Each structure stands twice: as structure tokens, then as C-alpha cells.
Amino acid sequence: MPDLRRFFTRLISAVQQQWRAAGGRYRVTPLQPLYVGEDVPGNDIFDGSYVTYLSEAGRQLHALTFFSGRICDAYGNLFDTTDAESLHTGFGRAIFVMDADGNFYASKEQTYGMFHHSSLVAGGPVAAAGEIEVIDGVLTALSDRSGHYMPRQSFTDQAIDQLKKKNISFQGVKLDLIGRP
């Protein structure tokens, strides 16, 4: 029985890869139900606060771009998370999400009850979510720590797949994964 399951898992994965290679979009996972309505002032989730959801224009300011195997910010400057801070790890990491089209958005600040992964996509579904550590444009660590999306391993694999397509090297990169099945 486990062999049969493994066979179908590989088959589905192979079909998805072919589909993406043909220009398809990545699969997405929704916001955790607990946080639906977090952007409404007076909500019960973050009693006394509410989460900011970025507009399309605001989101583009957080877009990551890729040049010659380096990660850059929306303005083309080398991205660097040395001065970033995330709730789940602390200093040195930014939060990131990837959308269904493989676009990455990141924030070097995460403020409880005010700015989370969901802020970057206005509460919409994501193809991946977690944290990245980047020094002078070079990726040094990637995690799947997102309390708002709690992505399964297969979603993080999509982010790794897309970053490799952008010529980002994973040599020496620390993968700090919960690895949810």
C-alpha cells in the first residue's frame, strides 16, 4: 500500500512539473481559518489590533527581483536581511511569500497583529510562505515558518523549484524546515 501511494505521489509530482514547464501556475494553499477577518478593525483574533493588507501597488514595493543569481529588492538593490527580524526566528530573517505565478514578495519587518505573511498577499492564498536569510543578495537560509499559512513541504518545494529557475544557488543554503507532510 505505501508503494502504491509513493507511485501516485511521484506520478502527480511529475505531471505538475510538466504542467509548470508548459507555463502552468503553482498550486496554492489558503490562509489558516483562524486568521480570516484579521484585517477588520475590532476583530477578536488580534484584540486591540488588526493586520494591514497591502494593495497591489504596495505589494510591488515588496517584490523580490533576480539578477545574475542574486536576490534584489523591488528597486534592483541587492537584498540583505541583516537588519531584518521575524517573529518566528528573530534577527536576520525576512518573511516571504510566493504567489501562484512564482512571484516573490518579502518584508524585513513582521509585527504581531499588524504585519504578517498575509499582509503581502492581502489575505489571499500562497504557493509558498516562510522566512529567508539573504546576505548581499546571496541566499543563505530558507524556512517554512509561517503561522498564517503553515505550508506543507510540497509548497516549500515549489519555492525552491522557482528559486532554482531564477538561478539562485542552494549550495550551502540552510534549509530550516518543519517539513509538514
Partner 1 sequence: MLDHRTKAQLRALLYPVQFEQQPELGIERVLRMVVGRNTLQTTPSDYLRAIRLALESRDEKLAEIIPHTLSEAAIRAYLQQLSNRLAGATVTAAAAAPFAKP
Residue 14 CB: number of other CB atoms within 10 A? 10
Instruction: Report, in Å, the least distance between residue 77 CB and partner 1.
Output: 26
> Contacts for 55-61 with beta carbons within 8 Å, 24 or more apart?
55/122, 59/105, 59/120, 59/121, 59/122
116: helix, strand or coil? coil
Among 48, 76, 172, 181, binds partner 1 (CB under 8 A): 48
Nearer to partner 1, 45 or 122 (CB): 45
Determine, following the binding rule CB under 8 A, whether residue 178 of this chain makes contact with partner 1: yes
CB of 69 to partner 1, least distance (A): 29
Of 100 and 178, nearer to partner 1 (C-beta) is 178
Residues 84-143 touching partner 1, rule: CB under 8 A, are: 85, 87-88, 90, 111-114
74 contributes a contact to partner 1 by CB under 8 A: no
Binding segment for partner 1 (CB under 8 A), chosen from 11-19, 42-50, 67-75, 117-125, is 42-50
Does 37 contact partner 1 by CB under 8 A? no
Q: 13-32: which residues touch partner 1 (CB under 8 A)?
A: 32
* CA 30/CA 104 separation, integer angstroms: 16
Neighbours of 59 (CB within 10 A): 19
Measured between alpha carbons, how far is residue 156 from residues 105, 123, 163 in Å?
15, 18, 11
Spatial distance between the Cα atoms of 109 and 115, rounded to a whole number of angstroms: 8
Amino acid at 8: F
Q: How many residues does the chain have?
A: 181
Residue 49 engages partner 1 in binding (rule: CB under 8 A)? yes
Q: Which stretch, 17-25, 38-46, 76-84, 117-125, contacts partner 1 (CB under 8 A)?
A: 38-46
Residues that bind partner 1 (CB under 8 A): 32, 34, 44-49, 85, 87-88, 90, 111-114, 145, 147, 150, 178
